[in-house]
Amino acid sequence: MKIIILGAGYVGTELATYLANSGHAVTLVDTPSAELDRIALRIDLRVVQGNPSSPVVLRNAGAENTELLVAATADDEVNITACSIGAFLFHIPRRIARIRSSDYLQEADEIFGDHGIPIDHVICPEHIATDDIARLIDLPGASAVSVFFDGMLTVVSAKCQLKGKLIGHAYSEFESYENKAALLSVFRNGKYLDGFRGEFIAPDDEVFFCCQTERALSQLSALKPLHGGGREIAIAGGTHVADALAVRLSERFRVKLIEPSTDRALRISDRLYGSEVEIYNADPTSLEFMNEEQLQRSDIFIAASPSDESNIMASMLMHRLHNVRTMAIIRGEGYNRLAENTASEIDTVVTPNEATVSALLSNIRQEGVENMRLFRRGQSEAVELVIEGSHFSSRVIGRKPAELSLPSGTNMGLVLRNERVIRPDDNFKFQEGDHALFFLNDQKQVRKLIRYFRPRAFWIPKW
């Protein structure tokens, strides 16, 4: 597929890297910079420098023969303009845009689509991050959470701890603990544990599993002790993510939003008027403020400021001084590694860019991929595949999972069939229309997996 990606920030670059490694012809467009030159040397793709919304630049990028345009710059107006030009001038069949402004999002159904601005899918990083954090709050102790099968299935990552109900037991017992779960992968000391079903569950193992969504909390208790979610949440603000999160969580919790900028505190207080959010104009790392407002009574502290350094520092202070459960939003790769090294003092590290890239990839939807999610800083991946074809055209239909030749390091999870989540047994055989979840320890193997499940060339799809 010929794809143009606008914007060479983290999201655009990661998306371009993934798609280029998957065999697509990718062109990355952004304003001239030294970073763009380095990207051209590092990744096997074409780079075009210039204004991403310029018709001349888009033509130079090959827009006349492009099948997909992804506008992922940091400027909403540039993304909207580029998609409009791509549709009206170059007739690009599919267009996806990253939109951040709540002004656009509140009217999205009326503004975008077949009868409005020609954008097929709108991706909002703030909403994606908010959804991720809300799921993590509902599953206290999970490191990462994502949903598949239209929300019926949840994939969870967690670090094992003492007092988990199955600590010291064989991993083979985990799948029968709630009877509708599947182990996907285990990492010990940062490395994939081959043959993990024959090993014993040990503290600090990083475990990935999937289960029916309503059973996720109970299944998680097998790996670590669970603590009550609580009712009070403090959020270190200064970003759209913090604002959206405060509003979302105020429906269920008592929320304190700490905004360090006086001007911004005044603006958002007007915007959030009528909500249950309490807004404070203060430095979230100030010990005097922490004591004055008794933040130690918070059940969860979420560091969502624009500064990774501030998020790490505020989280460590809240944990070290008050033993409050902490979550920190970290965007930079270097700070992400630093936060992981202080994992004992930051309970959960949230990487919104990873979730945004995953959402973009899921919306591209091609070759039988219904949904996907990157994990472990993009190194691993969960993929929901739709089984297509027939007994004659498919390598999979009519066969058992044990008979498949899956790429190295690929493990199968649960299957959705006729609106029911099932765990494949010895008699299970794939049928057309099944949705199957797979976990790849090395996301670079996903191209092989998709090719293997793709029907042979003579297959004619049903319309």
370-379 per-position pLDDT tens digit? 999 999 988 8
pLDDT tens readout for residues 290-306: 888 888 889 999 999 98
Higher pLDDT, 10 or 338: 10
Q: For residue 399, what pLDDT band results from cuts at 50, 70 and 90?
A: very high
Does residue 228 have a pLDDT over 80?
no
Check pLDDT > 60 for residue 458. Answer: no
State both tokens at 327: 């979550």
Mean pLDDT over residues 308-330, rounded?
Answer: 89
Q: Which pLDDT tens digit goes with each residue over 37-70?
A: 888 888 889 999 999 999 999 999 999 999 999 9
- Residue 334 is predicted with a pLDDT of 62
**Which among 94, 101, 44 is positioned nearest to 69, based on CA atoms?**
94
**463 confidence band (pLDDT: 50, 70, 90):** very low
CB 88 within 8 A of CB 118: yes
So what's the pLDDT on residue 102? Answer: 74
Which percentage of the chain shows pLDDT scores above 70?
Answer: 95
Question: What mean pLDDT comes out for the span 178-197?
Answer: 91
pTM: 0.88
What is the mean predicted confidence (pLDDT) over 89-111? Answer: 88
Other residues' Cβ atoms within 10 Å of the Cβ of residue 47: 19
Predicted local distance difference test score (pLDDT) of residue 226: 84
Where is pLDDT greater, at 406 or 336? 406
pLDDT at 419: 93
461 pLDDT higher than 60? no
Kindly tell me if the per-residue pLDDT of 275 is higher than 90. no
Longest alpha-carbon distance in the chain = 71
Report pLDDT digits (tens) over 26-41.
999 999 888 888 888 8
Give me the chain's average pLDDT, please.
89
At 342, the pLDDT band (50, 70, 90 cuts) reads: low
Whether the pLDDT of residue 336 is over 70: the answer is no
Q: What is the pLDDT of residue 393?
A: 87
